[in-house]
Structure 1
Amino acid sequence: LSLTMLSVVTGVGFLIHMYASWYMRGEEGYSRFFAYTNLFIASMVVLVLADNLLLMYLGWEGVGLCSYLLIGFYYTDPKNGAAAMKAFVVT
């Protein structure tokens, strides 16, 4: 099951990177977006491959933090900041 989920996480992450490299071209936070996305994928890999509860918890918290960062990526809009805070509190 871990191998299947690892394949899904890395496969979908690869597709997101391919699309985002075209879509985000010329954006102000281009490198910041990819740093957040890579951290999100790494946290998902830690979560999927965790063999104890502490490591699983760290992966889960990493996913929550990265969700907050990605949802609030366009932080100049107050709605995005509020949605990011809501996601952070829930996860």
Structure 2
Amino acid sequence: MCVVASRTWPGINKPGGVGRITRLHYDGSSSLSSTVTHVDVLYPVEHTREKRVAVEWLEVKDIVNETVVLGTKGRGGTGRCTRCGSLRRD
């Protein structure tokens, strides 16, 4: 996963956002030490894709080591009634 920075100025309207890298484009040198210069990105939320985004606009996220907190925070945190299924407040 990656976060693409917004690129909006006169003549350019590319909002960026959270996406998945689908392809890497290298600098064209034939050596083993060629570097990645551009990537193709798929934005799953907007169902769009963008080709050849420069790596300067990317921030790569490590989602494997991130902690995910699940629960009902903000909803009272007590869950549902076992008898009728409504949200409990006690």
TM-score, length basis structure 2: 0.19
TM-score, length basis structure 1: 0.19
